[in-house]
Every structure is written in structure tokens, then in C-alpha cells.
């Protein structure tokens, strides 16, 4: 009897909510279209395709003929369509009702536009937690696919990972296929013949085995060098030809066809997991990203708080519109970082916040029909065991953490659906040390143009090689000087006490000395509301250390929000409570997250005329200002700080160094604005200040 084997070829295709339009275009032309066009020429090859809802809506609007082409292939049984969460959320970290809703939204789209039922779903980033079986099964789904690493983690062998298994949660049944890591690294990076050889090795006389390749479709054209290898050099065509030539013993199938043809191997219970590389990046558990990156946790907890409001809407049409925006804000890509992009891309974070703000505004239209309204909530919004405060008006959302320096970690300008404080602190990434170690050891290799493997790029191998000359170019651009790591979260209203005459250059390089104990330290908080005007009083009894003496200082800042005023007031009061004079430079740090540091339509302005080199990535020290502002014509926002006392003002950018598919890159994240004053406080002396923060449309 001849040995036989079955092969399932599945591709997952995705672009994040908020990704740049040219990226959609390029991915379509270099990956999605050529793959399906090539597949069309081989009608006997069966493939399973998954497109996220973001892509499907883009196809529907921009390339409807592409959907028609796929529908034809579905109708003749060549293609099976997998579903999933419509906006590609990490399913375990969103509520069950949203899990079901997003999966059913995708299934409805597939039924309408492809004329077929969804039987299996793709898990975003293949993140699996055991409790998922119940809501996925309740959404009408029969099977999922996860990495064979999940199975091997409970002792399974390669031979064991050649079929599907059944798991259950509270009696809800779900079938699970393992994805072959071996195939992920072969396809499409090694010759097609090597894949055929591997499949032949795994074939048996019973012919009941199946090997699964289910991986990112962008590897077929969008990854570095793959368009040339896969299409121009004919890799995919040759692979399909080999599958056809060997069809006597090698049968391509869809997941549903295999389920209909063969029984499950056994019952199984799998632990939490993902693909091997994701487990390394996350420290073994995806949710750890919300610990490693406070910014990820802030987004996730904002999503949960927004959801509470959205589900209070009673008008069905308004509710559905808001839920859809909420779900868009659950798109996973901005919530984590491995090797590439993700959380480090400010426009992806901004898109998440924009969707959540739009959802919240729709809810508030019904909850607060009057023109001028204000609400304040005090509870543990960040789920860190400490209460935060959130103030909302029709135009603004203000997020305050008394425990973190009495700081402001979010500021929504609702008319533009934009979070002005969507900042990112700089922290060490594993690839930083390796990249710059390599740069330091390239001199002897430069003449040869030798290739250096910087880092395995993502979850399927290949594409991670840069030449020595490219690395040296990075060094020549001076990116190593941007490897600065913040010692505190880059949120606003952080109160600095510097030595007199401290320099901007020292602060920029984090060489300054903090002589106060106020940064990220806990403040007491009190809230009052008088005729819709909200006052939040934040106070701390701290100290300033000078001449080996800790000198007691009290600081009070009162944030006043009037719903009839597009902005807020912040009133400061400092008092020297000790017996010795205090001579210090006092500065208040604001961090603003406008999206482009070098664009001409986004710039600083002051009350003393034009600012030289005014782009938002500029660095400078201005003197005697009563006003500093930022205008963003693209977002239609004019933000200004007005001081009751003339101030010196530092400005500087926060820029990160991260990897992308194109190599190492510097990314503008936000702008730091620090007004400061030279103070000499005698014992018992008080000093006060009023800052008027105005936010309006340009």
C-alpha cells in the first residue's frame, strides 16, 4: 500500500484598524491579489483563507471585484473561509458578549458576501486560553487552529500533531488543529521541494494524517524579499505544481473537509499559549504586555470603561453604532510589541483611542442630552488597586491618577476624537542590546558586506537579515544616542524640583538630578462639584533635598473643569514648611502625543511671535513666556497653556528606537513641554500659580 498524507494550507490576512492607506494598497498588490490570482490558475489546490473584518471592509469599498473572485472559488469548493473576531481582538481579554458579537459579525459578513457558512475561526496571534472554548462554541463555531507548541507543551510528539482533537469548557465542545512549526519555517522561505520532502516523511499507509500550515498571508509578498521569491522567481507556482504532481499521495484539503473525512484523535485540554516567539516576547502569557507596558493597560482599561457606557444605550441604532466603534477599539495590534511596530506605532494607538472616544460620545449623546454637563467618577479604573479620577464633559475627557504624582494620563478632545496624552515611555527592548552590539563589531566585516542576522522577524522565520553596510548606516545616523530609557511614565502634571540653573540638555539625556520626591509619588485627592463645575484637589506633603537636608514642602494643585469652558484651570500653591530657605527650579511636565513631529502643519507657537524651528520634534529653551501653544491643522486642534507668571519653557521630543520590517527606525512619540520658574522660598513662604489650559478647534 502506498503511503499517503493530507495537507491543509491556510492563510491569515490582516491589517490593523488605523493602518496607513498606502499599506493596504501595497499589501493588496504585493500579497493578497497575486496569491489569489495564482491560486485561481490551480483549481485542484484547496486552500483556507482568513481575512479580518478590517480588510474585508476595505476590499468591499476599494476592490469589490476581489471579493467576487474569492466567492467564485468558494462556490466551486476550492476555498474555505475562516471567520474570527471581526476587528481581530485578542479574544481572552474582551468580555464574552463582545467575543460572540465580533465572531457573529464576521460570520454574517461571510454569509452575505461569500455565500458560505463559517465553521472555523482564526484566533488573533493564536492566543489561546482554555475558557475560550465555551464562547467560541456558543458562537456556532466548530474548530480553531493553534500552534503545535501548545500540544508539545503537554507532551505531544510530532506524530501526535497530525490530526485534530476535541476540547470542551462547561460541556461546550470545540475541535482544535495543531499548526506545524516546521512548515511555518519551510514555507515560503525554503525551496518547495523541501516542503514536499517533509510531507513525504510524515506520510503513512493509513493515510489519515494531516499537516497544517496556517500562517500570515503577508509572508507571501509583503515581507522583505518575498515578492521577488514567491512571485517573480516562481516559488508559489512551483509549490502548487508540486502539489498537483504528487496528488496521488498528497491531498490538499480544507479544515472542514478533513473533519468530514476523519475522526478526532482524542480529547485534549491545552494550557494558555501562543506561538513560540509570542511566548518569548510576552514572558509566557499575552496579558503580561499590560504589565510590561502601562500604556497597553491604559488602553485596555479605557476600553472596558467605555464599554460600560456603550451598553447603557437603549436606542437600538445608536447602540449598534457605538458597539461597532467599541469593537474597532479592541483591535489587538496597538496593545502589544514583539519585534515589530505594534504599540510603538503612535497612529495605531491613536486609532484605538479614536474608536473608543467615538463610541463614548455616541453613548453620552443619549446619557446626557443637555448642552452643558459634567460627570466625575472616582474608582479603580486601571485595576491597579488604587483609585483614579475621570472627568467627562461634552468636549473633554480627563484622566487623573493621584497615586502617580497626581498626574494626568489621558486627555480626550472629543470633537476630534483624539487623546492628546496617548504617550509612550521609552524602555529597554531585548533587541536594543543585540543590534548595537552588532554595530560595534562590524568594522572588520565591512569590506566583505557580510550579512548579519539581527533578529528573527516575527512568527515564521525569514526576512531578518541586514547587511553590514545597512547596520553601519544606522550607526552613522546616530540612533544609538536615542537609546534613553525613562525612569517614570511620560504622563502630564509631573512636578519637578531641580537644582537652580538645571539645563535642558541634562534633562533630555536624563542626566538631571531630581531633588524633590514628587514624581510618580502618591498625592491625596479630594473631589467637589458645585453647579456642574468640578474641582479636583491634589496635594502632597513632600520634601526637597538640598545641602544634605530634606526641606519640607507642601504642594497643592487644583484642577477646575467648567463644562461651559473648552479647557481647564490648574491652580498651584507651594509652601516652604521648614526652617531653611529653598532655592530651586520648579517645573511642571506636560506630555502631548500629536502624531507627527516633523510635519509643517503641526507646530509650537508662543506669545512673543514665531518660534524658530517650531516643529513638534524640536528642542528648545524659551524665556519669559506667558503662553505656549501647539496647533495641529491635520487634527484641527489648538492647545495652549497660559501662565499667570512669566515662565521659562523647555520643549523636547520623546522618540523611540524600534524595529520594523524595513529595519531599525526612530519613531516620534510625543512632545514634552515643561514650564519652569526659579524659586527662592523663605521659611513659611507660599508661592502660587495659575495655568489656563485652552483646547479648541483651529
> In degrees rounded to 5, what are phi and psi of residue 125?
55, 20
Length of the chain: 698
Pick the closest to residue 10 from 241, 254, 329 (CA basis): 254
**Of the candidates 142, 134, 86, which has an alpha carbon nearest to the alpha carbon of residue 110?**
86
Give CA–CA dist 677/675, Å, rounded.
Answer: 7
- Burial per residue of 182-191, b for 16 or more beta-carbon CB atoms within 10 angstroms, e otherwise: bbbebbbbee
Nearest alpha carbon to residue 692 among 641, 646, 645: 641
Q: What is the DSSP string of 349-402?
A: HHHHHHHHHHHHHHHHHHH--SSS-EEEEEE-TTSSSS-EEEEEESSEEEEEET
Rounded Cα distance, 471 and 437, in Å: 11
CA dist 586 and 565 (Å) reads 28
Cis peptide before 188 (omega within 30 of 0): yes
Rounded distance between C-alpha atoms, residue 317 and residue 335, angstroms: 29
Q: Residue 194 and residue 188: Cα distance in Å, rounded? A: 10
CB 623 within 8 A of CB 611: no
Residue listed under C-alpha cell 495537507: 7
For residues 647 and 571, is the Cβ–Cβ distance under 8 A? no
Measured CA to CA, the distance from residue 65 to residue 7 in angstroms comes to 29
Q: Using CA atoms, how far apart are residues 481 and 187, in angstroms rounded to an integer? A: 38
Torsion, Cα 12 13 14 20, to 10 degrees, reads 160
Whether 125 sits among the annotated catalytic residues: the reply is yes
Buried b (16+ CB within 10 A) or exposed e, 332-370: bbbbbbbbbbbbbbbebbbbbbbbbbbbbbbbbeeebee
In whole angstroms, what is the distance from residue 482 CA to residue 510 CA? Answer: 11
Active site residue 173: no
Say how far apart CA 657 and CA 497 lie, in whole Å: 29
What is the rounded radius of gyration, in angstroms, for the C-alpha atoms of the chain? 28
- The answer to whether the beta carbons of residues 228 and 23 sit under 8 Å apart is no
Contact by Cβ (8 Å): 106, 86 = yes
Identify the active-site residue in 125, 129, 412, 502.
125
| CA of residue 188 relative to chain centroid, distance | 27
- Can you tell me the distance from the alpha carbon of 306 to that of 531, in angstroms, rounded to the nearest whole number? 25
Structural element, H or E, at residue 308: helix 294-310
Catalytic residue among 96, 216, 375, 455: 216
Classify the C-alpha dihedral 305-306-311-315 as positive or negative.
positive
Active site residues: 125, 216
Amino acid at each position: 500500500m502506498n503511503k499517503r498524507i493530507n495537507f491543509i494550507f491556510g492563510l491569515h490576512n490582516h491589517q490593523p484598524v488605523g493602518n496607513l492607506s498606502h499599506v493596504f494598497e501595497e499589501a493588496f498588490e504585493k500579497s493578497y491579489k497575486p496569491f489569489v490570482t495564482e491560486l485561481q490558475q490551480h483549481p485542484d489546490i484547496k486552500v483556507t483563507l482568513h481575512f479580518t473584518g478590517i480588510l474585508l471592509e476595505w476590499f468591499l469599498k476599494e476592490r469589490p471585484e476581489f471579493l467576487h473572485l474569492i466567492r467564485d472559488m468558494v462556490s466551486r469548493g476550492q476555498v474555505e473561509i475562516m471567520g474570527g473576531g471581526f476587528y481581530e481582538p485578542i479574544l481572552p481579554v474582551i468580555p464574552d458578549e463582545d467575543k460572540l458579537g465580533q465572531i457573529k459579525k464576521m460570520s454574517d459578513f461571510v454569509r452575505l458576501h461569500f455565500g458560505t457558512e463559517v465553521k472555523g475561526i482564526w484566533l488573533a496571534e493564536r492566543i489561546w486560553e482554555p475558557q475560550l472554548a465555551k464562547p467560541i462554541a456558543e458562537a456556532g463555531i466548530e474548530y480553531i487552529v493553534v500552534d503545535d507548541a501548545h500540544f508539545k507543551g503537554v507532551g505531544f510528539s510530532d506524530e501526535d500533531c497530525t490530526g485534530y482533537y476535541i476540547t470542551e469548557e462547561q460541556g461546550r465542545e470545540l475541535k482544535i488543529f495543531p499548526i506545524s512549526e516546521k512548515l511555518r519555517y519551510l514555507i515560503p522561505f525554503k525551496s518547495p521541494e523541501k516542503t514536499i520532502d517533509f510531507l513525504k516523511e510524515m506520510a503513512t499507509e493509513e493515510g489519515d494524517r494531516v499537516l497544517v500550515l496556517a500562517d500570515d498571508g503577508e509572508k507571501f509578498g509583503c515581507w522583505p524579499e518575498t515578492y521577488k521569491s514567491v512571485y517573480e522567481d516562481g516559488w508559489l507556482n512551483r509549490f502548487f505544481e508540486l502539489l498537483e504532481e504528487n496528488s496521488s499521495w498528497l491531498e490538499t484539503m480544507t479544515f472542514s473537509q478533513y473533519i468530514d473525512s476523519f475522526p478526532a484523535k482524542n480529547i485534549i485540554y491545552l494550557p494558555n499559549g501562543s506561538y513560540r516567539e509570542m511566548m518569548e516576547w510576552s514572558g509566557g502569557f499575552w496579558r503580561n504586555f499590560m504589565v510590561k507596558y502601562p500604556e497597553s493597560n491604559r488602553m485596555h482599561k479605557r476600553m472596558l470603561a467605555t464599554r460600560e457606557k456603550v451598553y447603557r444605550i437603549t436606542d437600538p441604532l445608536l447602540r449598534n453604532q457605538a458597539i461597532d466603534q467599541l469593537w474597532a477599539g479592541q483591535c489587538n495590534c496597538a496593545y502589544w510589541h514583539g519585534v515589530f511596530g505594534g504599540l510603538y506605532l503612535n497612529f495605531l494607538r491613536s486609532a484605538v483611542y479614536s474608536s473608543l472616544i467615538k463610541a463614548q460620545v455616541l453613548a453620552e449623546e443619549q446619557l446626557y442630552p443637555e448642552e452643558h454637563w459634567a460627570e466625575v467618577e472616582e474608582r479603580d479604573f486601571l485595576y491597579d488597586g488604587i483609585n483614579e479620577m475621570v472627568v467627562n464633559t461634552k468636549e473633554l475627557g480627563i484622566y487623573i491618577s493621584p497615586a502617580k504624582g497626581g498626574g494626568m494620563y489621558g486627555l480626550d478632545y472629543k470633537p476630534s476624537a483624539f487623546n492628546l496624552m496617548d504617550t509612550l515611555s521609552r524602555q529597554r527592548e531585548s533587541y536594543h542590546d543585540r543590534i548595537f552590539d552588532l554595530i560595534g563589531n562590524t568594522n572588520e566585516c565591512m569590506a566583505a558586506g557580510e550579512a548579519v542576522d539581527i533578529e528573527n522577524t516575527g512568527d515564521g522565520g525569514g526576512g531578518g537579515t541586514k547587511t553590514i553596510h545597512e547596520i553601519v548606516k544606522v550607526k552613522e545616523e546616530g540612533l544609538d544616542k536615542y537609546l534613553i530609557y525613562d525612569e517614570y511614565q511620560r504622563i502630564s502634571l509631573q512636578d519637578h524640583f531641580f537644582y537652580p540653573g538645571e539645563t535642558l540638555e541634562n534633562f533630555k539625556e536624563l542626566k538631571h538630578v531630581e531633588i524633590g520626591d514628587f514624581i510618580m509619588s502618591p498625592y491625596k485627592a479630594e473631589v467637589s462639584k458645585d453647579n456642574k463645575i468640578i474641582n479636583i484637589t491634589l496635594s502632597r506633603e513632600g520634601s526637597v533635598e538640598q545641602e544634605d537636608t530634606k526641606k519640607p514642602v507642601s504642594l497643592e494643585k487644583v484642577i477646575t473643569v467648567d463644562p461651559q469652558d473648552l479647557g481647564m484651570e490648574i491652580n498651584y500653591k507651594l509652601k516652604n514648611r521648614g526652617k531653611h530657605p529653598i532655592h530651586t527650579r520648579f517645573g511642571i511636565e506636560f506630555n502631548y502625543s500629536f502624531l507627527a513631529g516633523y510635519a509643517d502643519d503641526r507646530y509650537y507657537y508662543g506669545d512673543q511671535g514665531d518660534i524658530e524651528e517650531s516643529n513638534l520634534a524640536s528642542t528648545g529653551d524659551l524665556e519669559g513666556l506667558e503662553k505656549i501653544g501647539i496647533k495641529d491643522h491635520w487634527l484641527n486642534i489648538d492647545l495652549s497653556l497660559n501662565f499667570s507668571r512669566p515662565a521659562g519653557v523647555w520643549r523636547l521630543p520623546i522618540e523611540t528606537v524600534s524595529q520594523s520590517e524595513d529595519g531599525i527606525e526612530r519613531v516620534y512619540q510625543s512632545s514634552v513641554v515643561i514650564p519652569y520658574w526659579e524659586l527662592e522660598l523663605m521659611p513659611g513662604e507660599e508661592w502660587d500659580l495659575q495655568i489656563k489650559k485652552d483646547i479648541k478647534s483651529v
